[in-house]
Amino acid sequence: MADKIVKGTIIYKQFAKYIPLQDMNGLQWFALENNYGEFYGDIHKKYIFKKQPKLLNIGDGNVREMIEEQIQPYDDSIVVYSDPSEQYSGGRSNTKYHNIVKKYFLSEYDGTIIDEKNLKGGQKYSKEDLDGASEIVIWKDFTELLDELPSGGKKRKFKNTSKKSKRKKMKKTKRRFSF
């Protein structure tokens, strides 16, 4: 995966019950790879970034520490939830962590990213500490940031299907086959 998520990057989401892009709200988890587990549901969707998102790279130990330092004076619980062992323990800690980060970084960032192929240790958290599943969590501007792709790949281009062009086509076909 690229070091940076840019316009045109494709991300994936699995659902048990599909939610259209325009109806998404709150925290939404996306993956950098397709088919990332059976636990998340049988409905698989692809999305493409329409513009470059502003994401906090929590796969970088220094960024994670900066987040803690910014939030801790207002909310001590960030220290507990920032610990990758706690955050990815399988409970609700990941959601709690992202809700806290969203509260303080909502106006500056669209969400967070952790890419297991591009982890970077810091003073407090080593590269090994940060090892976990790759994910992008987006918390705002879903329709401004993303387009849903059809199952086949690229975004559909609408055909010119005006009545006039349909009639023209029919006339050509009739002329070709008339005796």
SS (H, E, C) 97-149: HHHHHHHHHCCCCCEEEECCCCCECCCCCCHHHHCCCCEEEECCCHHHHEEEE
31 DSSP 8-state letter: B
Q: Is residue 103 part of a domain?
A: yes
Query: Is 133 part of a structural domain of the chain?
Result: yes
71/159 Cα distance (integer angstroms)? 50
In a domain, 162, yes or no: no
pLDDT of amino acid 145: 97
Q: What is the pLDDT of residue 173?
A: 52
Q: Please report, for residues 13, 53, 105, the alpha-carbon distance to residue 6 in angstroms, rounded to integers and kept in the order given.
A: 18, 7, 20
Q: Is residue 99 part of a domain?
A: yes
Structural domain count of the chain: 1
Domain that holds residue 87: 10-149
Classify each residue of 36-54 as buried b or exposed e, where b means 16 or more C-beta atoms within 10 Å of its C-beta: beeebeeebbbbbbeeebe
> Is residue 37 in a domain?
yes
In a domain, 95, yes or no: yes
- Is 94 among the domain residues? yes
> What per-residue confidence (pLDDT) applies to 50?
97
Show pLDDT as tens, one digit a residue, over the chain (179 residues): 345 789 999 999 988 899 999 999 999 999 998 876 666 677 889 999 999 999 999 999 999 999 999 999 999 999 999 999 888 877 799 999 999 999 999 999 999 999 999 999 999 999 999 988 889 999 999 999 999 999 755 554 555 555 555 555 555 555 555 54
Rounded to two decimals, the pTM is: 0.80
pLDDT at 2 (0 to 100): 41
Tell me, yes or no, whether 1 lies in a domain: no
pLDDT for the residue 154: 52
Report pLDDT for 23. Answer: 96
